[in-house]
Amino acid sequence: MAPRAATRSLHAQVIEEIGESIVSGALQPGDALPGEAQLATQMAVSRTVLREALKVLAAKGLIETRQKTGMRVRDPRHWNHLDADVLAWRCAAMPTDDFVDKLVEMRAIIEPAAVAAAARRREPAQLEAIGAALEAMEESTTLDEWAVADLHFHEAVLAATNNELLSSLFGVIEAALGTFFVMSARTAKNFKYALPHHRAVYEAIRRRRPNEAAAAMQAMIADSRANMRKGKKSG
């Protein structure tokens, strides 16, 4: 069992190292990767491990193999931008304003509808989970504690929609949301500044008022983006 675990670990390391290099821009679209033998030597892994890692990166749309020219980095328009790893690597590479704006747009499309669905369909245990996350946000004393509790709040809201497609979406966008929440809270004078918005969302879900829940979430998203823009100007 141990050798298999070690192989998986090496496999993950290769995927992460090459993937981060591509997404961060260290490797540009059209750049050629070294040949398989050379790359395996550089990364101190077997060619078998390297091949499996390259297959994963190709499936994410980051690289392609061409006859005669070998492996090359693909243009970002071919990347799977909703892949959890690709999103995490983009967030780790200091998100651009354009990326943040696109994330805000995605949230504005999905989350108001999700909280409205949660207000209509939530069950007692699901409401309790949302309330527990809100309480953890209220009791947080550090930015890291706040960010974790904030993620739990949004995860619990998506679960309360009782729509497995929406619930599964959290696993895809978790890294991006986490980065967004930290950036938003960090630029505020008080990282708990968004608590009133979260309370409003919770109360609307508790009272089963879909329109109020959607409006509260829209206000939360708009305020977060405005706060980040304000923080950037003052910085």
Domain extents for the chain?
2-78, 95-234
At 144 the pLDDT is: 86
The pairing of strands 70-73 and 63-66 is: antiparallel
pLDDT tens profile 4-24: 445 558 889 999 999 999 999
At 234 the pLDDT is: 52
d(CA 39, CA 148): 37
At 188 the pLDDT is: 63
Architecture in CATH for domain 2-78:
Orthogonal Bundle (1.10)
d(CA 176, CA 183): 11
Q: What is the pTM of this model?
A: 0.78
Rounded mean pLDDT of 138-160?
92
At 96 the pLDDT is: 77
- More confident call, 216 vs 181: 216
Number of other CB atoms surrounding residue 136 within 10 Å:
16
Where residue 134 falls among pLDDT bands split at 50, 70, 90?
Answer: very high
Rounded mean pLDDT of 155-177?
87
Question: How crowded is the C-beta side of 52, counted as CA atoms within 13 Å?
Answer: 11
Are 167 and 123 within 8 A, CB to CB?
A: no
Residues 95-234: name the CATH superfamily.
GntR ligand-binding domain-like (1.20.120.530)
Are 160 and 118 within 8 A, CB to CB?
A: yes
Rounded mean pLDDT of 146-166?
93
Quote the Cα angle for 131-161-188, to 5°: 50
- More confident call, 33 vs 98: 33
At 114 the pLDDT is: 95
At 3 the pLDDT is: 44
d(CA 99, CA 231): 17
pLDDT tens profile 101-127: 888 898 899 999 999 999 999 999 999
| Strand partners for 132 | none
| Mean residue pLDDT across the chain | 88
